[in-house]
């Protein structure tokens, strides 16, 4: 596959990312024509300025990385990111809500963020390392019901987590694609073979900090 760059959201979400790190991310995104960059909300305006007059999307994360913020806080954070110019929003699901089978709460949590996003696409990070297969499927179904646009595997912040797994992406794709939603695979994607396997399983986006290595 020669167009892998069109799948990649070039990602930098480290706590200790410096201004130079971010500037390098934006430079690489332009050079390799990645689909987007994924950065923390504090840097959305910086990214928009750096990527002006390019097709690179600015993606940011909400309720990151735990997903346990109050719904009102997540919605406000999303509205701020949209006002700053974010092109897409990736929110973390309330994982405990799934575990506790508090499905109405989880659905309403996602729906509130989607309302705050307006026409901006919303991806729901399920944190698949912490869920069993039934919980992954249920989280996908709730994301559909809440009006999300994508489901996403992982934050990459789970200690000893594997991240994106082919079987999880396949399950997510089979659950949401009949309803028009797409799948973003993220977490632990460090080589071309892994990237291609995840795309074959149904991912239309790849979140990775190894984008340059993958397409090189």
Question: Which residues are catalytically annotated?
Answer: 90, 152, 184
CA distance 52 to 61: 20
- The pair of structure tokens assigned to 50 is 């750096």
Phi, psi torsion values for 170, nearest 5 degrees: -60, -45
DSSP state of 215: H
In the block, residue with structure tokens 């979140």: 207
Residue 11: Cβ-neighbour burial (10 angstroms; 0-12, 13-18, 19+): buried
Using CA atoms in the order 57, 145, 156, 78, what is the torsion angle rounded to 10 degrees?
A: 50
Residue 173 in contact with residue 164, Cβ under 8 Å? Answer: no
Please provide the size of the chain in residues: 216
The percent of the chain in helix, strand and coil, each rounded to the nearest 5, is 50, 15, 35
CA distances to 12, 30, 36, 88, 90 from 19, rounded to whole Å, are 11, 17, 18, 22, 22
């Amino acid at each position: 596959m020669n167009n892998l760059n069109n799948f990649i959201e070039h990602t930098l979400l480290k706590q200790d990312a410096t201004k130079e790190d971010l500037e390098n991310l934006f430079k690489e995104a332009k050079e390799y024509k990645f689909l987007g960059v994924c950065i923390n909300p504090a840097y959305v305006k910086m990214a928009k300025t750096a990527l002006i007059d390019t097709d690179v999307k600015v993606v940011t994360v909400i309720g990151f990385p735990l997903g346990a913020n109050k719904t009102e806080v997540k919605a406000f954070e999303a509205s701020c990111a949209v006002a700053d110019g974010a092109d897409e929003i990736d929110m973390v699901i309330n994982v405990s809500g799934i575990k506790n089978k508090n499905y109405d709460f989880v659905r309403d949590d996602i729906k509130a963020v989607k309302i705050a996003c307006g026409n901006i696409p919303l991806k729901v990070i399920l944190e698949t390392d912490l869920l069993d297969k039934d919980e992954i499927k249920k989280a996908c179904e709730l994301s559909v019901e809440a009006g999300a646009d994508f489901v996403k595997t992982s934050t990459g912040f789970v200690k000893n987590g594997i991240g994106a797994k082919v079987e999880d992406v396949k399950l997510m794709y089979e659950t949401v694609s009949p309803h028009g939603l797409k799948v973003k695979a993220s977490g632990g994607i460090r080589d071309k073979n892994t990237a291609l396997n995840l795309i074959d399983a149904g991912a239309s986006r790849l979140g990775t900090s190894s984008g340059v290595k993958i397409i090189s």
